[in-house]
Every structure is written in C-alpha cells, then in structure tokens.
Chains A and B, each alone.
Chain A
C-alpha cells in the first residue's frame, strides 16, 4: 500500500516548455486535489476532482490543466511553463465520510522554471 505517489520528484524546465506531473493513489478514494506551495507560504488549491471524470478549478488554476481519467490517477499539466510557476506541487487524496475528512498527501514535486 503505497498511499499517494508523485512523479517526478524534481524537474527543471525552461520558460515555455510543457510537462505533466503525475499523481496516483491506491486507497480507492473518490476525491483528489492538486496544490502548490511557494517558499514560506501555505498550500494553495489549483484544481480538484470530486470523482473520476470530473474536475473543477480551485484558487489558482491559471496556467494549468488537469486530467482525471480513472479513479487512481490525477495529472497536472503545464502547457507553457513560466518562472512564476516555480513551486512545490503536492497531490492529495481524500478519505471522506459524512462526518469526517482526511487528506493524504504525496511527497511533492519540486519544479523550477528558468
């Protein structure tokens, strides 16, 4: 039981390049989130997915796209990377019941855009 996995762990891009961050969970959760965390700051929600095939914008969606093709995987794509997207990206999977909610986080992807 690996929990939440993210690939890659580190990535350096040049301005204008594209890439996809991968996230997978093996806990059979319906909901998954993508966050970014800038140095010294809290986490900001980029996109979330309440269930397979559905996605919605969070607080800072500009410059990103997501895909939830199956229950396990939720990917984040940067179509044209910008230096402002230099950050640590965390994926989370949510265990939720009507009276409880817990987020399980992956180890993060550290992205630098030059």
Chain B
C-alpha cells in the first residue's frame, strides 16, 4: 500500500484558492490518486480522482506531476462550507482494493 503524507491542518480566508499537497513517494504504476472530503459527523465524500497531469471537475482540480510522487488538490474560491477534512488516497482502480485514509488535512476557512 502506498503511504501518503499530508499537512495536518491549513487555514484560508473565504474567496481564496486553496492548494493541499499530498506526498506519495512509493506510488505504483497502476495506482490512481483520489481525494475525499469529510464533514463532521458524516462519512467521507468523493471529490476527484486522477492518474497523471491535470483533472478538473465542477468542484476541484487535481494536479499530478510527471513523476507522480505527489499531487495537489486545488479548491477555487473557498467558502465557509468548504471547512472539512480532506483525505488523499492512493490505490489501484477497480472495485477491490485495500486503501489507507491517513489522518487527512483539516481545512479551516476563515470569514
């Protein structure tokens, strides 16, 4: 299993762009990178997934450099409702994989 390392916490003001970086030095060739968001007292929710370069959806962008040893989740113009814990996961695609969530990055958005 690829180990991931993220900052424990980050603060940002409303309206700013937030970038959360995840380090995964031992990522395997078949592994994808996935980010989840978790609000207090709720289960995590899928945000975005990618393999290389850049992936964008309606809520976030994911940047993955050529060596794939790290990735950056970018949240444009955050609001108070983006205050949550963000988890980076690395694992192979398909419906069957062991994954490790780690402790995640607690993002606090300040008014």
Contacts and interface: CB of A to CB of B under 8 A. Distances in A.
Size category of the binding interface on chain A: 20 to 34
Contacts of B43: 4, 90, 92, 105-108
Contacts of A4: 43
Chief secondary structure at chain A's binding surface:
strand
Contacts of B92: 101
A71 B49 CA distance: 26
Chief secondary structure at chain B's binding surface:
loop
Interface string B1-45: 000000000000000000000000000000010101000011111
B6 to A, nearest CB: 10
A100 B49 contact: yes
Interface of B: 32, 34, 36, 41-46, 49, 51, 87, 91-104
23 contacts: A30-B95, A40-B103, A42-B100, A42-B101, A44-B100, A45-B98, A45-B100, A48-B98, A59-B98, A90-B43, A90-B44, A94-B95, A97-B95, A100-B32, A101-B92, A101-B94, A101-B95, A102-B46, A103-B46, A104-B46, A105-B44, A105-B45, A107-B42
